[in-house]
Amino acid sequence: MNNLDLYWGGFVTTLTTCVIALLLSFVLGFLIAIMRVSTVGWMRFISRWYVEFLRNTPLLVQVFIFYYALPTLEIDWLNFDGFQAGMLGLTFYTAAYIAENIRSGIQSVPSGQLEASRSSGLSYLQSMIFIILPQAFRIATPPLGNQFINLIKNSAVLAFFAGGDIMYVADSLQSSGAVFPVYITAGIFYLILTIPMSVFVNFLERKLAV
């Protein structure tokens, strides 16, 4: 069926956006978290304000800045299409939350652990990698799982600027008739993405449990 092809296209777009944004936001969020707990003043300063700005403004505003505002600077490579703008917005937005989850994970490891590993001869970096971070991630897994699921759901912002995702397909189909089945179908496609993610996070939690 023709409509199913359209949904499939939207599904692939949403999936691609989410996978890329998830990986990028995890890397960026991790870096920001490390900067937040570092001993270097300017790193703490930058990372703190990054989190404050990105976490305290609506995602829609951020994505509109990427999509509509940046092109007015008339720099060629800053003119993103809906897919790119949505992906960038999701990445930067989600990274702020991920950074906070990882930071709180790191900070909930008792400080005695770092002192103990340093006095047993490990360097600061070694202590972080082998002692602190493994414990931090165990604590951060459930909130990180929430962020990943939120990221998938938030990807519906792409529909606002012809991003071609599931929500965009549903929006364009509903204008030509049946509204109810159109959005129900869209919901089901999102569940196809979020439920496996939920199951995976639950599995991770169980696996990492002490």
Partner 1 sequence: MNMNKKMLFFALFALMLLLAACGGSGGNETGSTPADEETSDSGADGGEATGDAEGDDSEAAAEGSTLQAIKDRGKLVAGVKFDTRLFGLKNPQSGDVEGYDVDIMKLLAQHIFETDSADDVLELVQVNSKTRFELVDNGEIDLGAATATINAEREEIVDFTNVYFIAGQSLLVPEDSSITGIEDLTADTTVIAVKGSTSEKNIKEKAPDAKVDLYDDYAAAFTALRAGKGDTLTTDNAILLGMRETDPSFKLVGGLFTEEPYGIFLKDGDDEFREYVNEFLNGLKESGELDELYQKWFGEPAPENILYENEFLK
Give me the residues that bind partner 1 (CB under 8 A), please. 67-68, 71-72, 79, 81-82, 160-162, 168, 171-172, 174-176, 180, 184, 187, 195, 199
Q: Is the dihedral of CA 26, 28, 34, 36 positive or negative?
A: negative
CB closer to partner 1 out of 21 and 170? 170
Cα-based distances in Å from 56 to 61, 96, 97, 152, 162: 11, 10, 11, 20, 25
Cα-based distances in Å from 172 to 143, 168, 191: 34, 6, 20
Q: Cβ neighbours of residue 43 under 8 Å, at least 6 residues apart? A: 35, 36
Least distance from C-beta 133 to partner 1, angstroms?
31
CB closer to partner 1 out of 82 and 89? 82
Least distance from C-beta 150 to partner 1, angstroms?
18
CB closer to partner 1 out of 140 and 173? 173
Least distance from C-beta 62 to partner 1, angstroms?
16
CB closer to partner 1 out of 96 and 158? 158
Least distance from C-beta 144 to partner 1, angstroms?
21
Two tokens at 93?
A: 């937005």
Two tokens at 62?
A: 């951020």
Two tokens at 83?
A: 């897919």
